[in-house]
A = this chain, B = another copy of it.
Amino acid sequence: MSGIKTITELQELFSSQLAEYSFPQVPSALYEPMEYIMSIGGKRIRPVLLLAAYNLYKEEVAVAFEGGLALEVFHNFTLLHDDIMDAAEIRRGQPTVHIKYDENKAILTGDVMMIYAYQLLEKYSDYYLPLCKVFTQTSREVCEGQSMDMEFETTDSVTISDYLKMIEYKTSVLIAAALKMGGILAGAPEQDLKHLYEFGKNLGIAFQIQDDLLDTFGTEEQLGKKIGGDIEQKKKTYLYLKSLELLNESQANRLRSIFLDQNLDMDDALVAEVKELLQISHVKVHAEELKLVYQQLSLSHLSAIQVPDEQKIPLQELAHSLLNRTV
């Protein structure tokens, strides 16, 4: 097939279609915040993954635009509500919706965006049920992941397995669903749909582990945002949980007491102490190994997809670029 587009071409195609797209306008109090959040950018990773998966089987990727848009609208709905829950004031360098407008508008506009995503999928009447089945199950899991993430803040007994399930739900399943939905839209065989999903799911988990690593051991340029936020917020990431296993008893007790004492505010000295403990534990090597396990699993599913290897190059390159913001 000659019509394989590069990731850059897919990004440009999606952006140009989005620029032409007319969102609903009335009532403006409801739809203006939607237009605002959709206009301030983001990397459009989910729509591009959907288009790239579609392009494995079919050339006319412009047809799949509304599928990609549904995912992007859904993703931005989760950001609107997450930003309220986290009391976040800045998103992509701009004020969050509940700051720029107000909290009630951020709730209600988020709601209508969730609903609008389903309406966008109506274009694909032949595939509507299978598309929605994936989309609905995934959306539920995203909420479950967000709920687990919030619960972890006040739970002392989070396990590594809990943590991996949380990042799978909060982040990875939507990546996985994007790829699978692209395959469904293109009429891909059932076996390929499974591999597309698993490719995305494991890619997402590897990416999140890398994100955790960069947050502690990386630079601001690599991460694209301020370093050390996870430690400051006492996030119970893999790095923290695995360190508790690796450190000796007194070190582990010290680390645990810093994280679990709700009255202890993190200052620079405490952040530095935590970072030192994580370094002593050599958890970085373990996290890199774990990332590699998911990365290899991910690529093995990409290999198993029944299309010629040269057509997979854009997805390979995208995976490579996502997983190589060097630690």
Interface string of A106-148 (1 = CB under 8 A from B): 0110111011101100100100110011001101100110111
Cα-based distance from A146 to B29 in the complex (angstroms)? 10
Check B27–A104 contact: CB distance below 8 A.
no
Contact at A125–B129, with CB atoms within 8 Å? yes
Whether A147 pairs with B108 at a CB distance below 8 angstroms is yes
Shortest CB-to-CB span from A102 to chain B, Å, is: 10
* A85: Cβ under 8 A from any B Cβ: yes
* Chain A interface residue number, banded: 35 or more
Closest chain B CB from A82 CB (angstroms): 9
From A81, A84, A140, A148, name the one whose CB has the most chain B CB atoms within 10 angstroms: A140
CB distance from A158 to the nearest CB of B (A): 12
Q: Is A304 an interface residue (CB 8 A)?
A: no
Judged by a CB distance under 8 angstroms, whether A178 is at the interface is: no
A118 to B135, CA, bound (A): 10
Residue of B nearest to A145 (CB): B27
Contacts of A132 in B (CB 8 A): 118, 122, 128, 132
* A151 at interface, CB cutoff 8 A: yes
* Nearest-Cβ distance from residue A323 to partner chain B, whole angstroms: 29
Can you pick out 24 interface pairs between chain A and chain B where the beta carbons lie within 8 Å of each other? Answer: A27-B147, A27-B151, A29-B150, A30-B144, A81-B108, A84-B104, A84-B107, A85-B104, A104-B150, A108-B143, A112-B140, A115-B136, A115-B139, A115-B143, A118-B136, A119-B140, A122-B129, A122-B132, A122-B136, A128-B128, A128-B129, A128-B132, A129-B129, A132-B132
